[in-house]
């Protein structure tokens, strides 16, 4: 109820700003018409598919690497000592700054685009997973060992379930980072994609097309985030909530 009210108020505010003539800001109906035109000629379908493929592939690769690395860092001190300095170093370097290096070593195909998105997802997820492992209650671990559980059982039955909320939060942050990096990654000689369409429209000061891409990126990102939120609720039913 309140979500729908919030959307309605946002659209109303947007319409009011457009009517005031603020720097040529297009109104909701103008953006909707432009979106319908791009959809009718097939451009929007190709752009959405291309961007979704890049984001999903980059996000899956990044999180698939981040989760085991985060577990190893949290469980073994020597692994943490070897890897953590590099993780912290690259966290301070924006993934966008890696684009020139990616182009030099990987060319201008799909690989560098997916790599930059994967890096953004990885750096966002690995710290949350690591934090989840090191904050597991030591009483639970010791209790499991007293009952005869070996390290593998402790890890599978105690550490992984207790870390799941942190992992899923990290995945949600990684998903946001993936979408945030998409537009910049499509600077790498992309022929299609929402980010590429927005950059092309910028050259011609085509604000309605820019807003179509902006709204679609937000909507797609929100839908994917809601899927992760649903998964979080299903996987952490044991967790006390307010």
DSSP state of 1: -
Summarize the confidence of residues 131-141 as an average pLDDT: 82
Kindly state the average pLDDT of the residues 44-68. Answer: 91
The whole-chain average pLDDT of the chain stands at: 84
The answer as to whether 103 is a domain residue is: yes
| Count of residues in the chain | 242
Structure tokens at 212: 């179509």
Give the pair of three-digit tokens for residue 235: 């996987």
149 vs 76, 132, 160, 197, CA distance in Å?
Answer: 18, 21, 15, 55
- How many angstroms separate the CA atoms of 35 and 43, rounded? 10
pLDDT at 242 over 60: no
The answer to whether residue 18 sits within a structural domain is: no
Q: How many domains does the chain have?
A: 1
- Long-range pairs for 147-156: beta carbons < 8 A, 24 or more residues apart: 155/71, 155/75
Distances in Å between the Cα of 92 and the Cα atoms of 113, 120, 159 are 20, 11, 28
In a domain, 53, yes or no: yes
Tell whether 16 is covered by a domain: no
What CATH number corresponds to the domain at position 58?
1.10.3720.10
The answer to whether residue 99 sits within a structural domain is yes
- Answer whether residue 11 is part of any domain: no
Domain assignment of residue 82, yes or no: yes
Residue 102 belongs to domain spanning: 43-235
In a domain, 161, yes or no: yes
Tokens found for residue 141: 């671990």
């Amino acid at each position: 109820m309140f979500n729908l009210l919030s959307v309605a108020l946002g659209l109303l505010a947007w319409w009011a700003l457009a009517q005031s003539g603020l720097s040529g800001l297009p109104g909701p109906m103008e953006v909707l018409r432009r979106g319908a035109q791009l959809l009718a000629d097939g451009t929007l379908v190709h752009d959405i598919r291309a961007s979704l493929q890049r984001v999903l592939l980059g996000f899956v690769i990044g999180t698939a690497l981040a989760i085991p690395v985060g577990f190893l860092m949290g469980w073994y001190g020597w692994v943490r000592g070897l890897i953590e300095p590099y993780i912290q170093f690259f966290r301070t370097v924006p993934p966008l700054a890696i684009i020139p290096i990616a182009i030099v070593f990987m060319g201008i195909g799909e690989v560098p685009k997916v790599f930059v998105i994967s890096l953004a997802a990885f750096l966002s997820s690995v710290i949350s997973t690591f934090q989840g492992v090191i904050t597991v209650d030591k009483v639970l671990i010791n209790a499991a060992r007293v009952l005869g559980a070996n390290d593998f059982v402790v890890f599978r039955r105690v550490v992984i379930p207790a870390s799941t909320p942190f992992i899923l939060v990290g995945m949600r942050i990684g998903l946001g980072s993936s979408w945030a990096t998409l537009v910049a990654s499509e600077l790498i000689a992309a022929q299609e994609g929402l980010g590429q369409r927005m950059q092309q429209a910028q050259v011609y000061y085509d604000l309605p097309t820019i807003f179509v891409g902006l709204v679609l990126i937000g909507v797609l990102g929100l839908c994917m985030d809601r899927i992760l939120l649903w998964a979080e609720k299903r996987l952490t039913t044991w967790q006390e909530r307010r």
